[in-house]
């Protein structure tokens, strides 16, 4: 048995997960999670005029060094770091990545949009029966869509799409306080609709069922349980439940806010933008439910790139 660490450098958080792994195993789940440490970084806020700032580079490096120290203390045999939209989409991506690598003396792999979608799917299918539908990954800086066949595998065409809008970037661009106003929610939805309309084959992503990965989808599920009184860790988020949450936000924002603090205290400011993205995608693609997957891109990276 070996210990492998995966560090996910995202737009909102930087997360270290340490796994005990069975190398060369044919098991459907050849790993066990030993530690999971998340640090909120808000790196999307350090992108100014399309450039990742020096302060953002320092912030990322400081947190990565802390995670690397934790991994060493837990005797990890290998630690990989990957980054997604926050570094992929900035205009000085190469320079920023090199500066971070120099500061931490370790490699940072920036995933392409296609790699992010593929690895998200690889993680989602671990321990999860998947059939026809569309996989959605609402990240901090982007939203990935992957169309699935009847056997739950990505279609050749369309395989996947990356929309350059996520829960953190939506908050940063459109929200003035903490919880968005109705007008701000409409602005987030309108921006996402523009990206959806630009898809090469929107019809190819239409599905009654979505499979969801990522922190925003899990936060919505937690909020559904907290505010609507359903079972904890609900496996499915119906579109009707998201509509009920928006109704609560509009009619009783105080109760909504207190429920959000209990359900997902580290995502209070990005919860509603994530809800807007989820509902807009569901409405556009004709989906009635989101099935919440237990695993996602980190586990997909572990299985596909490290084992």
Mean pLDDT, residues 204-225: 96
Determine the Cα–Cα distance for residues 214 and 142; give it in Å rounded to an integer: 11
Question: How many CB atoms are located within 10 Å of the residue 200 CB?
Answer: 8
Mean pLDDT, residues 64-72: 98
Determine the 3-state secondary structure of 304 from DSSP: helix
Determine the Cα–Cα distance for residues 188 and 144; give it in Å rounded to an integer: 16
What is the pLDDT at residue 231? 77
What is the pLDDT at residue 123? 97
Strands of the sheet containing 13-21, edge to edge, are 31-40, 13-21, 2-9, 78-83, 109-110
Note the pTM of the prediction, 2 decimals: 0.94
Question: How many CB atoms are located within 10 Å of the residue 94 CB?
Answer: 11
- Residue 20: exposure state from Cβ atoms within 10 A (0-12, 13-18, ≥19): middle
Determine the Cα–Cα distance for residues 222 and 7; give it in Å rounded to an integer: 24
192: Cβ–Cβ under 8 A, 6 or more apart, which residues? 143, 163, 165, 170, 276, 277, 280, 281
- Sketch out the chain's domains with CATH numbers: 2-110 (3.30.420.40), 129-292 (3.30.420.150)
Alpha-carbon Rg of the chain, whole angstroms? 19
Over the stretch 131-174, which tens digit does the pLDDT of each residue have? Answer: 999 999 999 999 999 999 999 999 877 778 999 999 999 999 99
Determine the 3-state secondary structure of 193 from DSSP: helix
Q: What DSSP character marks residue 300? A: H
Over the stretch 11-61, which tens digit does the pLDDT of each residue have? Answer: 989 999 999 998 777 788 999 999 999 999 989 889 999 999 999 999 999
* Percent share of the chain, pLDDT over 90: 89
């Amino acid at each position: 048995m070996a210990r492998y660490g995966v560090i996910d450098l995202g737009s909102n958080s930087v997360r270290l997960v340490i796994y005990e792994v069975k190398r060369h195993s044919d098991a459907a789940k050849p790993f066990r999670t030993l530690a999971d440490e998340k640090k909120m970084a808000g790196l999307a806020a350090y992108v100014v005029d399309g450039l990742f700032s020096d302060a953002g580079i320092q912030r990322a490096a400081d947190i990565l060094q802390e995670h690397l120290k934790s991994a060493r203390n837990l005797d990890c045999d290998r630690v990989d770091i990957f980054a997604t939209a926050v570094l992929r989409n900035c205009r000085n991506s190469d320079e920023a990545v090199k500066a971070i690598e120099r500061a931490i003396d370790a490699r940072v792999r920036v995933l392409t949009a296609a790699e992010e979608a593929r690895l998200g799917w690889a993680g989602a299918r671990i321990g999860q029966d998947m059939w026809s539908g569309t996989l959605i990954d609402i990240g901090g800086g982007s939203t990935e869509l992957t169309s699935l066949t009847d056997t739950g595998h990505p279609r050749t065409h369309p395989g996947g799409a990356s929309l350059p809008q996520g829960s953190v970037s939506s908050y940063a661009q459109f929200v003035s306080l903490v919880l968005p106003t109705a007008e701000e929610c409409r602005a987030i939805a309108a921006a996402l609709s523009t990206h959806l309309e630009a898809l090469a084959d929107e019809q190819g992503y239409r599905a009654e069922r979505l499979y969801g990965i990522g922190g925003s989808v899990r936060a919505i599920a937690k909020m559904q349980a907290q505010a609507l009184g359903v079972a904890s860790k609900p496996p499915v988020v119906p579109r009707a439940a998201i509509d009920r949450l928006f109704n609560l936000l509009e009619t009783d924002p105080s109760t909504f806010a207190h429920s959000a603090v209990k359900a997902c205290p580290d995502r209070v400011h990005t919860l509603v933008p994530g809800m807007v993205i989820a509902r807009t995608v569901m409405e556009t693609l004709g989906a009635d439910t989101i099935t919440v997957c237990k695993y996602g891109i980190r586990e997909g990276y572990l299985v596909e790139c490290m084992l």
